[in-house]
Chains A and B, each alone.
Chain A
Amino acid sequence: MPDTPKTDISSGKPADNGPVLVFDNVSIAFDDHRVLENISFSIHPGETCVLLGPAGSGKSVLMKIANGLVKPDTGSVKVFGEEITTMSEVQLFKMRQRVGMVFQESALFDSMDVEDNIAYRLNEEGVSEDESHKRVQEVLNFVLLGQAIDKFPSELSGGMRRRVSIARAIVTNPDFILYDSPTGGLDPITSTTIVELVVKQRDVAHTTALMITHRLQDAFTLATHRYDEQAGTMKVIPDGAVDESTTFLVLNEGKIVFTGKTLDLTHSEDTWIKAYLA
């Protein structure tokens, strides 16, 4: 491994200059169906990569591979410079301490209230009750849901559940966040609220992220907006400029059809991409 600096994944230190995530020739098939084929890309510190593609193109599987929840058939996956495809489950648990994940349908523990859901990892790490409560309150305020601390998931709307899920993912200040369709199935207004949280996390905490979305408008909102901390809201980047840390990765039928920056995507001459963006 000459290029990627080695980092101690259990140390909790932020990633060094090397890529946070590297996929090299990753393939996976379920039964006889090839889901991902020779996928190679990398995500660097501070980058927010938007993963686009039609339903069934392998986006969620790719994300689960990135977190070690699914092992690929072939290829190499490095997170913080460490090969994760050969790691044991115990080693993966240490790696995941630096990774936050927001699931497609929130995946909140339905038998626990919001506070216990968010504090789940803190409780596992043995953080004191007072400290844990303080951090849960802080992170709930960040996702504008401070009043819902003692509610159960069944009492929350879809948008609120996604926000709790984001709060659970960011409560330990992870170095890398995986968002699996955080706006899927939500109305446009709620979706914008969720995207604003992703932008806020990107611009305030500068966390590296990989985000899956089916909604092109969400992807382009992410690329064309910046979070204004003073105003406490998301604003359009002036003069038609785009956020340089936002990149795109487009999948179709298990293969990468595009990887690059926002303007490269919008000016692509590829007929499939043109049709997809239309």
Chain B
Amino acid sequence: MTLGSPIALAKKQISSLQGYSLLVGRAFASLLTPPHYWGDIFIQADSIGVGSLPIVVLTGFFTGCVLALQSAVSLKQFGAISMTGTLVSLSMMKELGPVLTGLMVSGRNASGMASELGSMQVTEQIDAMRALGVDPVRKLVTPRILATVGMLFFLTILSDTVGVLGGGLVAVGLLGLNASSYFHSTYRALQYADVVQGLTKPLFFGFIIASVGTYFGISTKGGTQGVGRATTQAVVVSSVLIIVIDFLISRTMIGIFGR
């Protein structure tokens, strides 16, 4: 195996970034002019939103459970076990709910989009679409971005909710806390800034998942092997971007709201 030139590698990366930016720009520009494929948006919303329900509910629920279990051990040392609800609530709402939901949906849907569009690309179906006078970005990319952004927002709310419920189940059932006290503390812990932060993140994460998934799909080269490569890259890149953007949003929000 020979090592490629660093200049060629840099050119390739910059070219990919340019391709991604152009794709995203065209996807947004297509919102301004007809035709709009509303039917495709609802189909994608069903596939991404309803289809991801089981994994999001299970992940959120058990994350809440384990969060309560682990935090109770530390809080007990300070005699603050009654703060379990506060900790679960804040952790789920601000960080774990959006990030874990984003990662789960990324694993399921960024890969699905990359493989679906990649298969269409290598079998010339995307060229056929263009030859038939249909803009593939308008038809395939824009509906996926809109559907993912919208659905991830609601999936995150659901994940936060079941996470708090899971934490409550452990707190009451295993740690012996009072149910009313637990749920009261989860509610009282949340402030406007926490809710804004927790609900802003999925909007960015949904955009990352769909734009990265469709970009890798639509730029697939190299037959079935290329489809596999695109699928893997889509999941890896979108997952890493979610973590990085999470940090940036958190920092910005703390800067704005002070918490």
Residues of A within 8 A of B (CB): 64, 67, 69, 89-90, 92-94, 96-97, 99, 101, 103-105, 107-110, 120-121, 124, 168
Q: Is the CB of A101 within 8 A of B123?
A: no
Across the interface, which residues of B come within 8 angstroms of A109, CB to CB? 125, 128-129
Known: A89-B135, A93-B135. A69 touches B123 (CB 8 A): no
Alpha-carbon distance A192/B35, docked complex (angstroms): 40
* Least distance between A249 CB and chain B CB atoms (Å): 21
Across the interface, which residues of A come within 8 angstroms of B130, CB to CB? 69, 89, 92-93, 96
Chain B interface residue count, Cβ-Cβ cutoff 8 angstroms: 13
Q: A93: which of B123, B127, B133 is its contact (CB, 8 Å)?
A: B133
Across the interface, which residues of B come within 8 angstroms of A101, CB to CB? 128, 131
B124 interface hit (Cβ, 8 Å): yes
* Least distance between B251 CB and chain A CB atoms (Å): 38
Q: Is the CB of B134 within 8 A of A124?
A: yes
B3 interface hit (Cβ, 8 Å): no
Q: A107: which of B124, B133, B134, B135 is its contact (CB, 8 Å)?
A: B124
Across the interface, which residues of B come within 8 angstroms of A110, CB to CB? 123, 125
Q: Is the CB of A121 within 8 A of B132?
A: yes
Q: A124: which of B123, B127, B131, B132 is its contact (CB, 8 Å)?
A: B132
Across the interface, which residues of A come within 8 angstroms of B127, CB to CB? 64, 69, 103, 107
* Least distance between B128 CB and chain A CB atoms (Å): 4
Q: Mark B104-145, 1 if CB is under 8 A from A, else 0.
A: 000000000000000000011101111111110000000000
A-B CB contact pairs (8 Å), 5 listed = A93-B134, A96-B130, A108-B125, A108-B128, A109-B125
Closest to A94 in B: B133
* Least distance between A98 CB and chain B CB atoms (Å): 10
Across the interface, which residues of B come within 8 angstroms of A64, CB to CB? 127
Across the interface, which residues of B come within 8 angstroms of A121, CB to CB? 132-134
Alpha-carbon distance A168/B123, docked complex (angstroms): 16
Q: Is the CB of B132 within 8 A of A120?
A: yes
